[in-house]
């Protein structure tokens, strides 16, 4: 999704932007906290492997399902209908 389409989406209003920013900051903060703690314990490689093994399949499943849904859409569906 491009930034241009987000600007045109009325559901992406100020509260949604604040919520997205809060989730982003929390995710970055937790990631940095984990990375600092792991580096101090000399286990940064273990942390990276753990993230890849846990988050990798989740993101792969989301990407696969999105690709499948967009590939098999019907051109007559209400979402793609011209008004």
Indicate if the pLDDT at residue 74 is higher than 80: no
- Tally of domains in the chain: 2
> Cα–Cα distance between 4 and 7 in angstroms, integer?
5
> Cα–Cα distance between 17 and 45 in angstroms, integer?
34
Domain that holds residue 60: 43-83
Same domain, 60 and 29: no
Same domain, 61 and 71: yes
Per-residue pLDDT reduced to its tens digit, 1-41 = 556 655 677 778 889 899 999 999 999 999 999 999 998 99
Q: What is the pLDDT of residue 78?
A: 60
Same domain, 3 and 37: yes
Same domain, 12 and 36: yes
Same domain, 49 and 82: yes
Same domain, 1 and 31: yes
Same domain, 21 and 49: no
Same domain, 36 and 49: no
pTM summary value: 0.55
Same domain, 28 and 50: no
- DSSP per residue over 2-69, as a string? -HHHHHH-TTS-HHHHHHHHHHHHHHHHHHHHHHHHHHHTT-HHHHHHHHHHHHHHHHHHHHHHHHHH
């Amino acid at each position: 999704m491009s930034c241009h389409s987000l600007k045109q989406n009325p559901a992406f209003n100020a509260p949604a932007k604040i919520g997205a920013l809060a989730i982003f900051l929390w995710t970055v903060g937790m990631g940095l906290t984990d990375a600092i703690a792991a580096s101090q314990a000399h286990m940064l490689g273990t942390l990276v492997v753990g993230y890849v093994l846990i988050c990798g399949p989740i993101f792969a499943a989301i990407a696969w399902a999105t690709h499948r849904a967009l590939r098999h859409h019907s051109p007559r569906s209400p979402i793609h209908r011209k008004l």
